[in-house]
Amino acid sequence: MGTLLCGMRARSLQTVFILGVLLLGVSMLAGSFSARQPQTVVLDVGLSCLRFSLVLLAVFWIQELVAREIDRRTVVFALTYPYPRYFYLFGRYLGILLLLAMATLLLALLLWLAVLMTARSYEPLFRVALGMPYWATVLGIWLDVAVVLAFALCIASISTVSILPMVLGLGFAVAGRALGGVLQYLKSGAEGDVSLTGTYLPFLNAVQWILPDLSRLDWRLWPMYGNAPDPVSAGWASAMALSYAVLLLWLAARGFARREFL
Amino acid sequence: MAAALFAVSVFRLEQLPRTSIVDEMRVELPRFVQVLMSAGDRYLAANVATFRAVVASTAHMDAENFRVQGQVQRDAAWLNPAHEDNYYLAASILPWNGQFDAAQYVLEKAAQARPYDWQPAFYYAFNFYYIKKDPVTAANALLQAAPRVRSESNRMAMENLAYVWYEKGYDPATALSLLENSAKTARTGALRRFLMARVERLKALMALQQASAEFQRRNGRVPRNLDELVTGGLVKQIPADPFGQGFALDAQGTPVLRGKQ
Residue B82 resides in a domain: yes
> Distance between CA atoms of B97 and B73, rounded to whole angstroms?
14
Residue B219 resides in a domain: yes
Q: What is the ipTM of this complex?
A: 0.83
* Average per-residue pLDDT for chain A: 84
Looking at residues A20-43, what average pLDDT do you find? Answer: 85
Contacts of B55 in chain A (CB under 8 A): 33
- Which residues, including other chains, have CB under 8 Å from residue A63's CB and lie 6 or more apart? A156, A162, A165, A166
Q: What is the pLDDT of residue B70?
A: 92
Domain ranges of chain A: 2-257
CA of A161, closest CA in chain B: separation in Å? 24
Answer whether A241's CB lies under 8 Å from A212's CB.
Answer: yes
Is A40's CB within 8 Å of B84's CB?
A: yes
Going by DSSP bridges, is the β-strand pair B255-257/B247-249 parallel, antiparallel, or unpaired? Answer: antiparallel
Q: What is the pLDDT of residue A125?
A: 65
Q: Which domain holds residue B82?
A: 26-114
Answer whether B35's CB lies under 8 Å from A178's CB.
Answer: yes
Looking at residues A96-101, what average pLDDT do you find? Answer: 89
The angle, 0 to 180 degrees and rounded to 10, between the axes of the packed helices B135-145 and B119-130 is 170
The total of structural domains in chain B comes to 2
Residue B178 resides in a domain: no
Given B67, B97, B114, the domain boundary residue is B114
> Distance between CA atoms of A183 and B156, rounded to whole angstroms?
43
| Window 174-193 of A, Cβ < 8 Å to B | 174-182, 185-186, 190-191
Q: What is the pLDDT of residue B121?
A: 92
Q: What is the pLDDT of residue A7?
A: 47
The band of A76, judged by pLDDT with boundaries at 50, 70 and 90, is confident
Residue percentage of chain A with pLDDT more than 70: 90
Kindly report, residue by residue over A198-241, the tens digit of the pLDDT: 778 888 888 888 888 888 899 998 888 888 888 888 899 999 99
Q: 3-state DSSP call for residue B256? A: strand
Q: What is the pLDDT of residue A228?
A: 83
Q: Which residues of chain B have pLDDT under 50?
A: 260-261
Residue B142 resides in a domain: no
Q: How many CA atoms lie within 13 A of B102 on its CB side?
A: 24
Q: What is the dihedral of CA A176, A180, A186, A187, to 10 degrees?
A: 140
Kindly report, residue by residue over B45-79, the tens digit of the pLDDT: 999 999 888 888 777 788 888 899 999 999 999 99
Residue B180 resides in a domain: no
Given B92, B114, B136, the domain boundary residue is B114
Looking at residues A60-70, what average pLDDT do you find? Answer: 81
Q: What is the pLDDT of residue B261?
A: 39
Q: What is the pLDDT of residue B260?
A: 47
Is A41's CB within 8 Å of B35's CB?
A: no
A37 shares contact with chain B (CB less than 8 Å): yes
Contacts of B78 in chain A (CB under 8 A): 185
